[in-house]
Structure 1
Amino acid sequence: MSSQKEAFVALVTCFNDDETINFDATRAQVRRQVAAGNNIMCAGTNGDFSALTFDEKVRLTEEVVAEVDGRAKVIVNAGMPATFETVALAREFDRIGVDGIAVITPFFIACTQDGLVRHFTTVADAVKTPVYLYDIPARTQNHIEPETARKLAQHPNIAGIKDSGGAQETLEQYMAVGRDEDGFDVYSGPDHLVHWAFQNGAKGAISGLGNVMPEVLAKIVSCFNAGDEEGAAKAQETYGAFRTDLYKLGYPPALVKRALWVMDNSVGASRQPALLPDPEQDKQIEAILKKYELL
């Protein structure tokens, strides 16, 4: 049934003490998400993608795909500042075999809307795997205007967009494109809008917070798909409240990783110069996790 909604977790990348990737711990996180019923997005914002090398992203994707073993969908982010490197990465992911290739807008390089059209079109032309636009203007300083998304939706290999802008208005405009253009799915990034996005026509959600609360995210989806609006709303309320409590403490992706570390320190810290572990903050995180019965 095509109206079924789905959730992806923007999976954390686990590191050893020497900052090399801990593939065993990363695979354990994959198993945990698959068991909860979630799909996987790897090498996203919550996966510290900007701190990974080209070869690491390729190996990470190989390991995640092998661990998932067809039991869930895998989307991987190939977006880099230059179209040249983005294409090279996307071709590697195409070879490995994933369900989708997300392409975050270029960062550091200021782009015109025409530049974005050329960037995404070149990547979509280079691979067989469906490509998803990924808009997160707060981090990249480049924003895909809804009219640009509409233009790109015409491309036979551009399958949708992940909206992590956090503005309900933009999400609504992208969803209007999705309603008009066949084969253009909208995925909501903001964790407080998962249920609302489903109600308003989004195909799914791609969530960072799901690393910490996999079952609650999966419950929003399963309840919604079963027609249990009350159950979905209740799960969303828990999810949103936890998000508010946790994100009060600082930069969201760093806090997601840290909260997960407090629950299971095999995930390791993030690569530097990210947030350094702070025992005081860890105590605050611990209190929040206990409040939500996650510890």
Structure 2
Amino acid sequence: MSKKAFVALVTCFNEDETINYDATRAQVRRQVAAGNNIMCAGTNGDFTALTHEEKIRLTEEVVDEVGGRVDVIVNAGMPATFETLQLARAFDRIGVSGIAVITPFFIACTQDGLIRHFSTVADAVETPVYLYDIPSRTQNHIEPETALKLSAHGNIAGIKDSGGAQDTLEAYLQVARDVPGFEVYSGPDHLVLWSLQNGAAGCISGLGNAMPEVLAGILSAFNSGNIAEAERRQAIYTAFRTELYALGFPPALVKRSLYLQDPSVGASRQPALLPSEEQDAKIREILVRHRLL
């Protein structure tokens, strides 16, 4: 089965910080044209800055623009199971390929609490649910044993690993080997090819917003068996990631690097990133070096 790349799509904003749906649709078209699938309302989509109603409308607009051409996964995860359920049910009605559920944040959870949280959401919808682990941001981590327990749930289809630790990713990949049908999507941009070679179903990448063709190229080369070309493209992707992320908070930098290529995407909602001339100059240098400007 061929592996898939999802781009954790940016949400575009107007000057007054309202969502620019037309610009967001344009980004959807750009990713579809490159050959990537879409994840919306994720970390790179500023989901923590969006209201409940906005997430629902954003998903409707993205699904409408995609028109069935690629898969769409949307993140429903919120600190409370109650609101996560409300969002998941709304996304279920809209019709998406998958519902990602980021671990609760702010609230410290036990592993048992996480099992109940994810199971409750997966029980409530027909759309396949994907666990979403990003402990550096949420302070809650899905232990591999917990992922294994949850993999037995008939409607939990896999996990997005954005932890960045290769040993955790290896442990999740072992769960996928032990449980047929359980899919692992890697989040770290420098491990795209490695994870594909080690059994991942694909990747969900924020950096793909700024470099869509390179990401799609890693996947198409891998899927066609051209590992040398996949390695060449991964090297470009890794170098860009290393240089860009050295400057600060990755989602804000991805957004800013895209903004400098195409101002229609707008800035992030505050206080995510107060842009500075000095930082923009450094990002521009990186973009020029990678022939993106």
Band the TM-score falls in, shorter-chain normalisation:
over 0.9
Q: Distance in 2 between matches of 1:131 and 1:214?
A: 25
1:280 Cα deviation (Å)?
Answer: 1.2
AA of the residue aligned to 1:153: S
> Which of 285, 290, 293 is matched with 2:291 structurally?
293
Unaligned runs of 5+ in 2: none
Q: Which residue of 1 aligns with 2:175?
A: 177
The TM-score normalised by the length of structure 2 is: 1.00
Residue 117 of structure 1 is matched in structure 2 by 115
Match of residue 203 from structure 2: 205
Q: Structure 2: how far apart are the matches of 1:107 and 1:141?
A: 7
SS of residue paired to 1:65: helix
How many Å separate the matches in 1 of 2:267 and 2:65? Answer: 22
Aligned mate of 2:16, from 2, 15, 18: 18
> Which of 36, 39, 60 is 1:38 aligned to?
36
* Sequence identity percentage: 76
Give the root-mean-square deviation of aligned CA atoms: 0.4
What is the rounded CA distance, in whole Å, between the counterparts of 1:237 and 1:287 in structure 2?
Answer: 19
The two structures have a TM-score, normalised by structure 1, of: 0.99
Aligned amino acid, residue 173 of structure 1: A
Alpha-carbon distance in 1 for matches of 2:141, 2:174: 17
CA distance in 2 between counterparts of 1:278 and 1:208 reads 22
Whole-Å separation in 1 of the counterparts to 2:282 and 2:165: 28
Distance (Å, rounded) in 2 between the aligned partners of 1:147 and 1:277: 41
How far the C-alpha of 1:182 sits from its partner, in A, is: 1.6
Aligned residues: 293
Q: Which digits, 9 at most, give the CA deviation of each residue in 1:154-186, with x for residues without a partner? A: 000000000000000000000000001121100
2:68 matched residue in structure 1: 70
C-alpha distance in 2 between matches for 1:182 and 1:229: 25
Distance, in Å, in 2 between the alignment partners of 1:280 and 1:109 is 36
Q: Is the aligned partner of 1:88 residue 2:95?
A: no
Q: Report the alpha carbon displacement of residue 277 of structure 1 after superposing the two structures with TM.
A: 1.4
Could you tell me how far apart the structure 2 residues matched to 1:191 and 1:185 are?
Answer: 18
Q: Quote the offset at 1:274 in angstroms.
A: 1.2
Q: Distance in 1 between matches of 2:72 and 2:212?
A: 16
For 1:136 and 1:248, how far apart are their aligned partners in 2?
Answer: 19
Letter aligned with residue 54 of structure 1: H
Distance across 1 between alignment mates of 2:53 and 2:101: 17
Matched position secondary structure for 2:5? strand
Shift of 1:260: 0.3
CA distance in 2, matches of 1:278, 1:72: 36
Point out where structure 1 has 5 or more consecutive residues left out of the alignment: none
Residue deviations 1:170-206 (CA, integer Å, cap 9, x gap) = 0000000000112110000000000000000000000
Distance 1:274 1:87 in 2: 26
Q: Which amino acid aligns with 2:110?
A: T
Kindly state the Cα deviation for residue 279 of structure 1 after the two structures are TM-superposed: 1.2
Q: Distance in 1 between matches of 2:153 and 2:55?
A: 26
Q: 1:138 aligns with which of 115, 132, 136?
A: 136
By how many angstroms is 1:128 displaced? Answer: 0.1
Q: What is the 5 A alignment of 1:1-295?
A: 2=1, 4-295=2-293
